[in-house]
Structure 1
């Protein structure tokens, strides 16, 4: 399959911060068929790159001890061609800077923010590493969705900070949804989650992985130590489910309609 067309502002990478990288590697290898390469400890902090069929799809890194009670988590990164300006824009539009732009030797530059709804979102400026090489295929990231408690503010944040050109998909009290792009060319979504996210759950970005059969994948995942958070259900966009991996990181499944 061709390498995904990653335009500025679009999702370009995902990674998992985990308390147990070896357990995570085993889980996702069995579930999605991922293989791994571990980077130099001194240069890249032992960052693990996951590939599917020889193409990079995600990263895995050890959660630091000083992060305390922070849960294991999947993160989405959006492409930027000027990470300094993006960082300034994030602050100017109600966000916070969790991590100032940091150069990854030879690879690119990363930063991490809280958007105006409180959700963590990464930014990546390309160097040699130009994002994931496989998307919307079985075992690869297929969709990225922000569950926002402050929906209007979040939409404005991504328009102003990452230059999103947006399309309103739903605007009723029951379903308010905005996408980056339109129709089949959409690359990410923002959902008004104020009506269903519990008080103790902050806004967050969810990563969906494409699988051939959601129900079969759930059964396998549970046998490997996963937990079902939201059972499989049919939606206008395909059959979906939400799980946590064996160390508690939330991830989502969507049935690959091309499979």
Structure 2
């Protein structure tokens, strides 16, 4: 078993009231295919890109009224210890650590400002099987928050991240690194975000052709929130799917401009 370093994104899933509708949407937009639903685990259904596991969809638990949203899971060698670290650093444990068959163990938590994410201790399920260059695969994620100082204290304390700040007076953006590799971004939410939008983790999936993927998504009822725009990291856009889950797409092969300078932080 390959154990991913602590804090590395390893999985993403989302709850949808209309699971079949979600499968049709993401199948058309990202090219996903889907496995059999696991009735033993709440009809949890894995998604695949070119035969490799990349995400999952699941119906809400009975009585749940949670809005659809993507949840990112970060690697943990011990989810009970991670839950304790979350609490001791001002976060909340929303779902206590639990064993998921022989697949692994998980918990759902939030940072002090309500950014929800999961921790995953791998068993038989090690997480993403596809690399970010594979269309349909997870390729990046960012914490969007109105209180960047809180996130910048919390996430490194819990996961041991080293931090780098983008050298741009117009954008408050930070990168969290694990073993010298960038694994997660942190973006300050500006006044462009309506006050009713809570802080969240924005998950990016790789596409081949950002504009074409946007056209497919909006043609199926998604709302385009931003883009498509070029960047040194790829051409990207942010959308809300027909059931209200936010996500972004990124063409990692369409690079434009110079990468910004990053300053190492103590």
TM-score by length of 2: 0.89
Structure 1: runs of 5 or more not aligned = none
Structure 2: runs of 5 or more not aligned = 256-266
Aligned equivalents of 2:149, 2:155: Cα separation in 1: 10
3-state SS, counterpart of residue 107 of structure 2: strand
Aligned equivalents of 1:256, 1:171: Cα separation in 2: 22
Verify: 1:75 aligned to 2:74, yes or no.
no
Deviations 1:75-115 (A, max 9, x none): 10000001111101101111011100011000000100111
The counterpart of 2:214, out of the listed 213, 218, 223, is 218
Q: Counterpart of 1:9?
A: 7
Q: Which runs of 4+ in 1 moved over 6 A?
A: none
Q: Counterpart of 2:197?
A: 201
Aligned equivalents of 1:108, 1:203: Cα separation in 2: 28
TM-score by length of 1: 0.91
Shift of 1:55: 0.7
Are the equivalent residues in 2 in contact too, given 1:9–1:79 (CA < 8 A)? yes
Aligned equivalents of 2:121, 2:156: Cα separation in 1: 18
Q: Counterpart of 1:32?
A: 30
1:30-179 matches, cutoff 5 A: 30-41=28-39, 43-68=40-65, 70-136=66-132, 137-170=134-167, 172=169, 174-179=170-175
Q: Counterpart of 1:246?
A: 242
Deviations 1:181-223 (A, max 9, x none): 28x9311111111544321111100011111111111111111
Q: Counterpart of 1:227?
A: 223
What count of residue pairs does the alignment treat as equivalent?
254
